[in-house]
A and B are shown apart, each in its own frame.
Chain A
């Protein structure tokens, strides 16, 4: 069979090696098939998922943020659509500056726009587009569209912007939104909202905008898009539309708010007005205010500096963050405590020589020579200090702190502003326990009986926020049924229109006796008819309960306080609490005017203006005037 050239053993060896080769081939193909079985059967699920992940991209569709309206439907915060010019820096790389320069030739780009862009660029997540110009005009959009081809990585996007149509009005209640920062991201993560915030780049920063962030935001929709390896969207597979955020209808009355803010004029201070029957906040003023619209697309450093470094501190919400001694506005609550705890009867009178001696210290009354015989009614109407020095001494600090604590003093009210109450101050409800915790050295920690005396007239360590004072006033007006102050009346479901009430139930009924309450109501009405508030409420067509107050900023160490001789920023704070009409109060309020001098002088006229508008619809002319003559009356 074989040729003579080839020895048989050579051919056999060759065939044997062919056999070896065949075995190697089969083994190798066996390994391959094993690999295919591994990939296509065992790991099939895993790779199928990978292939799906590859091909499908979810493009989030950001929902419309909920609209905020006041109790009458006036819009306080809304959205509008505008075009922005946005750059995706990752697509431009080194040519970023160059591109912006070229863009500046066709579209007006100010240095401030560049600055903001740089700042956003530093904060930006990867691959996202960053606005270089917001609110393009139609002409600008057209001009860019014509030259689009020159600018890869630059595009015009329609975005929704937040707008606060009333500007400064109610800014401390509304708060504002701003771009999401790392801290906000943490918050979102902790709230397990990360998925819902894909694509969202603004978030509530303070106020209602922050407190109701997750109501206002809505549910992010998405579009499932098939993409190719280059990330280009080829076709839409599925679209889940976003669900708009819920709308907020406030208890706030925008007109009342606006009038009140105007009433303050240039003065610093705060006013909180509450509907006693519900705890709904009718007005929440902290003056000066700011324009929240400045924050919407990133506040410029200049504006921020101006707001932040202004001596009047417009960014501080005095209504919930300012803690002030309540001064004489504390007295009605002291009087009620005395009645409830049986320390005084209404008719029990003291003789007021104009001072109260305790140990070797003399506590002075405002009125030289004293008020003579003073019962409870007179003590409130004429704001007699001596009466309350004695009362405080008789009651003792623990009884005072217990009663006032029940009334909400020295505790956060839990008003729906900011995030987790963190925006609200607690103030100081003085007590031995508080002192022990507040101070470090043992001799400072001890409570001295003498310290109780000035607590009785709302001085000393007492420090409360205007919202606490307003809450206590509203509780008094509501005969001891206490509500948490709240700004949102209903959360309105964006889809169904269904309204969810926010605070339908009282938090506490303090169980005060009606006859005791009647004493207080009569006395506080007396303040406005014959007492310290009489000038401010002269000619009022309704009966209002009230109480003036003056809180010392500066201790004169026994010298007589002469208001004109003291510098403006060292003048006392003026306070006023009021509720009206007295028989069925529809509004209760607390006013504080920083360095306003006497309560009757600058706080009471503001209260009058607010009540006149709210109860009678009377529109005031400009800011409330200071009533210097009232000073004499109070003295």
Chain B
């Protein structure tokens, strides 16, 4: 009997060996808020709460599995995942299914997949692997090659067109290069070049993308068109006030004034019902999440692990900031979901894969040392 307790204990320890509990609790905290908000957003129509809870369960299993894979093994996936990812993106470019004017999906018989989702993980993985490989002999040309590795998938996704995802993939890659030590003068040089090339880039944007940026500057120019999203979501946030209108009581939400309310604009739903206090809680949770991720990166034992952890963590930041910024009307509307809040199984699996990688990096330090 004693042995049974002992083996249960050992079993539990074994199962949870690679779980980082602080990270888990923070993420589950955000997920709890997210599922409750999905419930509020869909209670009148599609009832997505249970589906999102199911998605969470699957995602947690994926996280658990990934967390058990040591970083050295993860490195082996870097190149194949990246190559497959790029090939799939090319396939999308050639044979993809067009939905709402952009070609993002690839049909693989039984279901459709969105290869750009793979790139969100594959990109930092690949670049971290690359810098690890040339760690001792790092030259400036390696940054150039890394930039090329970054730009190919970025261009393919931007071409779909899916500006939001392209930005996420591009920023994830850029964070790796940044943490790998890209000289400051190059960074500032790039910023300067970017600013001066802005007018040229402007001409490259699709009309709808230009419109979104113009609409951000003055939403009232197109109140029934693309300005509508921003106007309605800012009304939702602003009318929420300090304490919010109360759970399930957001008028903007329940009278269907908020578009995409359980996905990209879920923050407007949350903010309307929970107010400024709710927002502070959510931003605090994201800050804790990012803080925990940066600590893990800081303590990581290999360059690969450090770069990967740092890039993934800043990736969460990028998602959260762009999404809340666009919903509250200070950034243009690009299709970026709010991590752990927005409804969607695929995105959740990707996010928890990333969490699993962070956990793996944090819990395999000792093993590497040995």
Chain A residues near B (Cβ < 8 Å): 3, 5-6, 10, 13-15, 17-18, 21-22, 25-26, 28-29, 31-33, 35-37, 39-41, 43-44, 46-48, 50-52, 54-55, 226-230, 234
- On chain B, the residues within 8 Å of A229 by CB distance are 232, 255-257
In the bound complex, what is the Cα–Cα distance between A40 and B244 (angstroms)? 9
CB<8 Å pairs between A and B, sample of 23 = A13-B181, A18-B179, A22-B290, A22-B294, A25-B287, A25-B314, A28-B321, A36-B237, A37-B276, A40-B238, A40-B240, A40-B275, A41-B276, A44-B239, A47-B234, A47-B238, A51-B235, A55-B251, A55-B257, A227-B255, A228-B257, A230-B256, A234-B255
From residue 291 to 349 of chain B, which have CB atoms closer than 8 A to chain A?
A: 291, 294, 297-298, 301-303, 306, 310, 314, 317, 321, 324-325, 328-330
* In the assembled complex, B178 has its CB within 8 A of some CB on chain A: yes
Nearest residue in A to B237 (C-beta to C-beta)? Answer: A39
Nearest residue in A to B255 (C-beta to C-beta)? Answer: A228
Nearest residue in A to B306 (C-beta to C-beta)? Answer: A14
Checking B238, B271, B275, B298 against A15 with a beta-carbon cut-off of 8 angstroms, the contacting residue is B298
Min C-beta distance of A152 to chain B, whole Å: 20
- On chain B, the residues within 8 Å of A230 by CB distance are 256
* In the assembled complex, B2 has its CB within 8 A of some CB on chain A: no
In the bound complex, what is the Cα–Cα distance between A18 and B256 (angstroms)? 42
Min C-beta distance of A32 to chain B, whole Å: 5
* In the assembled complex, B164 has its CB within 8 A of some CB on chain A: no
In the bound complex, what is the Cα–Cα distance between A51 and B324 (angstroms)? 20
Extra 7 A-B pairs, beta carbons < 8 Å, given A18-B179, A25-B287, A55-B252 = A17-B310, A25-B317, A35-B330, A36-B280, A48-B239, A51-B238, A51-B239
- Is A32 a contact of B255 with CB atoms below 8 Å? no
- On chain B, the residues within 8 Å of A50 by CB distance are 235, 238-239
- On chain A, the residues within 8 Å of B161 by CB distance are none
* In the assembled complex, B242 has its CB within 8 A of some CB on chain A: yes
Q: Which 4 A-B pairs have the closest CB atoms?
A: A47-B238, A51-B239, A39-B238, A229-B256
- On chain A, the residues within 8 Å of B237 by CB distance are 36, 39-40, 47
Min C-beta distance of A233 to chain B, whole Å: 11
In the bound complex, what is the Cα–Cα distance between A147 and B305 (angstroms)? 70
- Is B328 a contact of A10 with CB atoms below 8 Å? no
- Is A41 a contact of B241 with CB atoms below 8 Å? yes
Checking B135, B178, B291 against A5 with a beta-carbon cut-off of 8 angstroms, the contacting residue is B135
- Is A29 a contact of B181 with CB atoms below 8 Å? no
Checking A5, A10, A21, A55 against B255 with a beta-carbon cut-off of 8 angstroms, the contacting residue is A55
Given contacts A18-B179, A33-B280, A227-B255, contact A40 B302 (CB under 8 A): no
- On chain A, the residues within 8 Å of B39 by CB distance are none
- Is A226 a contact of B271 with CB atoms below 8 Å? no
From residue 166 to 190 of chain B, which have CB atoms closer than 8 A to chain A?
A: 175, 178-179, 181
In the bound complex, what is the Cα–Cα distance between A43 and B276 (angstroms)? 12
- Is B256 a contact of A36 with CB atoms below 8 Å? no
In the bound complex, what is the Cα–Cα distance between A465 and B303 (angstroms)? 107
Min C-beta distance of A145 to chain B, whole Å: 29
* In the assembled complex, B248 has its CB within 8 A of some CB on chain A: no
From residue 43 to 76 of chain B, which have CB atoms closer than 8 A to chain A?
A: none
Nearest residue in B to A13 (C-beta to C-beta)? Answer: B181
- Is B257 a contact of A54 with CB atoms below 8 Å? yes
Given contacts A18-B310, A54-B252, A54-B257, contact A3 B301 (CB under 8 A): yes
Checking A21, A41, A55 against B294 with a beta-carbon cut-off of 8 angstroms, the contacting residue is A21
Of A5, A6, A10, A36, most B-chain CB atoms within 10 Å? A36
Checking A5, A36, A46 against B303 with a beta-carbon cut-off of 8 angstroms, the contacting residue is A5
Checking B291, B310, B314, B321 against A32 with a beta-carbon cut-off of 8 angstroms, the contacting residue is B321
Nearest residue in A to B257 (C-beta to C-beta)? Answer: A229
Nearest residue in B to A49 (C-beta to C-beta)? Answer: B239
In the bound complex, what is the Cα–Cα distance between A229 and B329 (angstroms)? 20
- Is A40 a contact of B276 with CB atoms below 8 Å? yes
Chain B 258-284 interface 0/1 with A at a Cβ cutoff of 8 Å (1 = within): 000000000000010001100110010
* In the assembled complex, B118 has its CB within 8 A of some CB on chain A: no
In the bound complex, what is the Cα–Cα distance between A427 and B34 (angstroms)? 82
In the bound complex, what is the Cα–Cα distance between A17 and B328 (angstroms)? 29
* In the assembled complex, B286 has its CB within 8 A of some CB on chain A: yes
- Is A17 a contact of B178 with CB atoms below 8 Å? yes
Interface of A is mostly: helix
- Is A47 a contact of B330 with CB atoms below 8 Å? no
- Is B294 a contact of A36 with CB atoms below 8 Å? no
Nearest residue in B to A22 (C-beta to C-beta)? Answer: B294
- On chain B, the residues within 8 Å of A31 by CB distance are 330
In the bound complex, what is the Cα–Cα distance between A29 and B310 (angstroms)? 18
Min C-beta distance of A45 to chain B, whole Å: 9
- On chain A, the residues within 8 Å of B121 by CB distance are none
Min C-beta distance of A231 to chain B, whole Å: 11
Checking B181, B297, B317 against A18 with a beta-carbon cut-off of 8 angstroms, the contacting residue is B297
Of A55, A226, A234, most B-chain CB atoms within 10 Å? A55
- Is A36 a contact of B252 with CB atoms below 8 Å? no
Min C-beta distance of A125 to chain B, whole Å: 18
Min C-beta distance of B289 to chain A, whole Å: 10
- Is A43 a contact of B238 with CB atoms below 8 Å? yes
In the bound complex, what is the Cα–Cα distance between A401 and B336 (angstroms)? 88
In the bound complex, what is the Cα–Cα distance between A5 and B134 (angstroms)? 11
In the bound complex, what is the Cα–Cα distance between A55 and B254 (angstroms)? 10
Min C-beta distance of A570 to chain B, whole Å: 67
Chain B 93-136 interface 0/1 with A at a Cβ cutoff of 8 Å (1 = within): 00000000000000000000000000000000000000000011
In the bound complex, what is the Cα–Cα distance between A5 and B280 (angstroms)? 42
- On chain A, the residues within 8 Å of B178 by CB distance are 17
Given contacts A17-B178, A29-B286, contact A51 B251 (CB under 8 A): yes
- Is B286 a contact of A35 with CB atoms below 8 Å? no
- On chain A, the residues within 8 Å of B286 by CB distance are 29
- Is B328 a contact of A18 with CB atoms below 8 Å? no
- Is A28 a contact of B317 with CB atoms below 8 Å? yes
- Is A26 a contact of B287 with CB atoms below 8 Å? yes
- Is B325 a contact of A32 with CB atoms below 8 Å? yes
Nearest residue in A to B286 (C-beta to C-beta)? Answer: A29
Min C-beta distance of B166 to chain A, whole Å: 20
- On chain A, the residues within 8 Å of B38 by CB distance are none
Nearest residue in B to A230 (C-beta to C-beta)? Answer: B256
In the bound complex, what is the Cα–Cα distance between A36 and B301 (angstroms)? 39
- On chain A, the residues within 8 Å of B298 by CB distance are 14-15, 18
Checking B136, B235, B271 against A36 with a beta-carbon cut-off of 8 angstroms, the contacting residue is B271
- On chain A, the residues within 8 Å of B303 by CB distance are 5-6, 10
* In the assembled complex, B157 has its CB within 8 A of some CB on chain A: no
From residue 202 to 247 of chain B, which have CB atoms closer than 8 A to chain A?
A: 232, 234-242
- Is B294 a contact of A18 with CB atoms below 8 Å? yes
- On chain B, the residues within 8 Å of A18 by CB distance are 179, 294, 297-298, 310
Of A10, A15, A39, A40, most B-chain CB atoms within 10 Å? A40
- On chain A, the residues within 8 Å of B136 by CB distance are 5
Given contacts A36-B271, A40-B240, contact A47 B235 (CB under 8 A): yes
- On chain A, the residues within 8 Å of B302 by CB distance are 3, 5-6
- On chain A, the residues within 8 Å of B279 by CB distance are 33, 36, 40
- On chain A, the residues within 8 Å of B275 by CB distance are 40
Given contacts A10-B181, A18-B298, A21-B294, contact A36 B239 (CB under 8 A): no
Min C-beta distance of B323 to chain A, whole Å: 10
Min C-beta distance of A13 to chain B, whole Å: 6
- On chain B, the residues within 8 Å of A55 by CB distance are 251-252, 255, 257
Min C-beta distance of A43 to chain B, whole Å: 5
In the bound complex, what is the Cα–Cα distance between A5 and B368 (angstroms)? 13
In the bound complex, what is the Cα–Cα distance between A22 and B292 (angstroms)? 11
Min C-beta distance of B246 to chain A, whole Å: 14
- On chain B, the residues within 8 Å of A41 by CB distance are 241-242, 276
In the bound complex, what is the Cα–Cα distance between A37 and B237 (angstroms)? 10
Nearest residue in A to B314 (C-beta to C-beta)? Answer: A21
- Is A226 a contact of B287 with CB atoms below 8 Å? no
- Is B241 a contact of A48 with CB atoms below 8 Å? yes
In the bound complex, what is the Cα–Cα distance between A51 and B249 (angstroms)? 13
In the bound complex, what is the Cα–Cα distance between A494 and B276 (angstroms)? 52
- On chain A, the residues within 8 Å of B242 by CB distance are 40-41, 44
- Is A14 a contact of B321 with CB atoms below 8 Å? no
